[in-house]
């Protein structure tokens, strides 16, 4: 629930390549990162929707080459404050790469959280209902705020009927849970692959500032409109979000 004492003056919505735009963020200034990067959908490394999704599913999951994992993950490490948490979504095809690269960058693995969805991915080796969230830390270990939280969560995935605006959109309440477990009110959370802007809405609902970065112009506009409607309801000025100055 929004508390009117929070004006989100540090919050930003940025359109562009995260490898360039993250350089605008001072090192050691971010309290938490939660992000869902484009990752391999097949063992051949293609990042696109499976063949069975071709009809009526809109745009590709990702248009272009996959971003260099070591480049963006090293930037995440640099931008985080000491003693901070980092959550990154992945699937089994990118799991080992992300674990290896995160270790190279200096992160320590806390846990692997299973997000168990109400939809399945057809597969010849068991139907896939699970998406992984790698839970890392930078610096010293500290507990999450709700230590009764499980390392698995059943979620209801967004649909067109309930407001889905991005093909890989994550459930709002699940993102809120990660945010409230690993940050405090008034702190700054970052999503460098923001898609539909779910992290921004989760931060607005839980009184955290946010920085979201999205490369795709269409997705950026959707996220900006989504956040803009909330800002308007709160009586806040959306223009400050678009100021690139940190």
Domains belonging to the chain, first-starting first, are 12-42+63-242 (3.40.50.150)
Which pLDDT value is given to residue 118?
81
One digit per residue, pLDDT tens: the chain, 246 residues? 667 777 788 999 999 999 999 999 999 999 999 999 987 655 444 444 443 333 333 444 555 678 899 999 999 999 999 999 999 999 888 999 999 999 999 999 999 999 998 877 777 888 888 899 999 999 999 999 999 999 999 888 776 666 665 667 788 999 999 999 999 999 999 999 998 899 999 999 999 999 999 999 998 999 899 898 888 888 887 777 876 566
Q: What is the DSSP string of 171-227?
A: PHHHHHHHHHHH--TT-EEEESS-TTTHHHHHHHHHT-EEEEEE-SHHHHHHHHHHH
Which pLDDT value is given to residue 41?
58
What lies within 8 Å, CB to CB, of 224 at 6+ separation is: 13, 197, 238, 241, 242
Q: Looking at the whole model, is its pTM more than 0.85?
A: yes
Which pLDDT value is given to residue 5?
72
């Amino acid at each position: 629930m929004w508390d009117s004492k929070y004006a989100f003056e540090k919050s930003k919505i940025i359109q562009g390549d995260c490898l360039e735009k993250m350089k605008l963020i001072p090192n050691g200034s971010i309290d938490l990162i939660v992000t869902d990067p484009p990752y391999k959908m097949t063992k051949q490394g293609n990042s696109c929707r499976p063949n069975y999704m071709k009809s009526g599913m809109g745009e590709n999951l990702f248009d272009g080459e996959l971003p260099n994992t070591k480049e963006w993950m090293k930037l995440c490490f640099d931008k985080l404050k000491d003693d901070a948490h980092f959550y990154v979504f992945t699937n089994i095809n990118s799991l080992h790469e992300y674990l290896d690269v995160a270790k190279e960058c200096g992160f320590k693995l806390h846990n692997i959280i299973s997000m168990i969805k109400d939809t399945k991915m057809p597969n010849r080796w068991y139907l896939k209902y699970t998406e992984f969230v790698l839970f890392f830390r930078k610096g010293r270990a500290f507990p999450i705020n709700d230590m009764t939280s499980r390392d698995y969560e059943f979620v209801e995935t967004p649909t067109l009927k309930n407001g889905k605006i991005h093909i890989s959109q994550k459930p709002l309440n699940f993102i809120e849970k990660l945010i409230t477990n690993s940050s405090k009110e008034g702190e700054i959370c970052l999503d460098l692959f923001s898609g539909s802007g779910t992290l921004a809405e989760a931060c607005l609902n839980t009184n955290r500032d946010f920085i979201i970065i999205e490369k795709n112009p269409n997705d950026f506009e959707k996220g900006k409109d989504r956040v803009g409607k909330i800002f308007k309801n709160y009586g806040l000025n959306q223009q400050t979000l678009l100021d690139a100055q940190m």
